[in-house]
Amino acid sequence: MRVRSHKLVLAAGLIALISVACGQLSSSPPAWTVAEVEVLRSLWLDSLSDLPADRSNAVADNPVAAGFGRQLFFDARLSANGGISCATCHQAERGFTDGLQKAQAIGTTARHTPSIVGAAYSPWQFWDGRRDSQWAQALAPLEDPNEHAIDRGQVVALVAEDADYRASYESLFGALPDLPISDPLALNMAFANIGKSIAAFERTIMPTASRFDAYVEAVVNNDIDHQATLFSDDEVWGLRLFIGEANCTQCHNGPLLTNHEFHNTGVISFPGDVPDKARIAGVAEVMESEFSCRSSYSDDPDHYCPELDFARTGLDLIGAFKTPSLRNLENTEPFMHKGQLATIAEVLVHYNQAPDAMIGHNEAKPLGLSDRELGQLEAFLATLASAPSF
């Protein structure tokens, strides 16, 4: 009996090992260690610092400017055909994206619409970081022939000729020059001020607490019972993979789950497009931008521009795109800089395989995760959903 019993124990153990290897065994996750709790705390929205001041924008935190900027953001008159506003591509119900691979406005743009939720925390705007402030970013689509396709003179004229807009503008910036504005410096300053007002509104677009944040709070408070009501075992395992074996926090760290940096992760080019040079071109453009931190249109008399002063410019930036936040992913598909990947599941498969880059060098390494583990990671990412505030 003892021999038979011993054989049964060995057989049971072997079956258990096979089940684990095949991802078929569902075991309860272990308790979080002290070190792991600190990592979770660093990702918690409650750990988000106060929004840093924008020294280049004197009205960045002015409520009147934010109200004026909100009106401009939703005003389709700021376009060549009277039908395109900032909100055309940045739709609140889609996490301020548009559901398209490439943004569609007057024409089709070169890239996917990035979310602007929490973008005020980033020192760089656009996928390639070709602008260094939200107000400079807000100006670029207005003059882009594929977006609003309107020139700065028309933008300023619309504000000057709308009585309510003119009153808002002049309460913030002083009198507008008489139309038509012949002095290019005066025109550019008025145009920049309009961008600064839009940026003041965009600074109010922030993520709100998700189920993940409630779970971290329960972990921090050592509330085991509440943890169990908030996360399934698969979601916990997915979070463990996220901060552990999958090494996602190498780039997706901090409360906004982004390091605001640029990385080449080997995403295949959009069909028919040449490989996108990305940050290597973006950093050159921001250095020459007429509305950069260093320009005469910045409100900072000291022109304190450490991001520009110490910006990386090396060849390793070829094909590198800005790390997006993982918050508010719900309803923001497709993903990546040209919407090449339709679902989160496809994104995870891409990072699991880490294919060679079509241009430059893929910084990511194959993860070797099982299908079950990829499913657990996807389950965790769904817990980051919440409605942005604005």
Which helix or strand (DSSP H or E) is residue 322 part of?
A: strand 321-322
SS3 content of the chain, % helix, strand, coil (to 5): 45, 5, 50
Are the CB atoms for 131 and 137 separated by under 8 Å? Answer: yes
pLDDT tens digit string along 70-107?
Answer: 999 999 999 999 999 999 999 999 999 999 999 999 99
Q: What is the pTM of this model?
A: 0.92
pLDDT score of 9: 37
Round to whole Å and give the CA distance between 88 and 100.
Answer: 11
pLDDT score of 128: 98
pLDDT score of 27: 80
User: Considering the domain 63-126+133-202 in this protein, what is its CATH number?
Assistant: 1.10.760.10
Task: Tell me what percent of the residues of the chain surpass a pLDDT of 90.
Answer: 92
Q: Where are the domains of the chain?
A: 1-28, 31-51+207-278+318-390, 63-126+133-202
* Burial of 177 from C-beta contacts in 10 A (0-12 / 13-18 / 19+): middle
Q: At what angle do helices 34-43 and 233-243 cross, to 10 degrees?
A: 90
Is the fold of 31-51+207-278+318-390 the same as that of 63-126+133-202? yes
- CA distances, 71 to each of 197, 275, 382 (Å): 10, 37, 32
pLDDT tens digit string along 39-55?
Answer: 999 999 999 999 999 99
* Burial of 61 from C-beta contacts in 10 A (0-12 / 13-18 / 19+): middle
* Burial of 216 from C-beta contacts in 10 A (0-12 / 13-18 / 19+): buried
Q: Is the pLDDT reported for residue 1 higher than 80?
A: no
Round to whole Å and give the CA distance between 227 and 80.
Answer: 52
User: Considering the domain 31-51+207-278+318-390 in this protein, what is its CATH number?
Assistant: 1.10.760.10
- For 112, the token pair is 């996917």
Round to whole Å and give the CA distance between 21 and 140.
Answer: 52
Tokens 């993860």 -> residue: 367
Burial readout 219-256 (b: 16 or more C-beta within 10 A, e: otherwise): beeeeeeebeebbeebbbbbbbbbbeebebbebbbbbb
Residue 21's pLDDT band (boundaries 50, 70, 90)?
A: very low
Say how many C-beta atoms besides its own lie within 10 A of residue 24's C-beta.
11
Round to whole Å and give the CA distance between 280 and 292.
Answer: 17
Round to whole Å and give the CA distance between 91 and 98.
Answer: 6
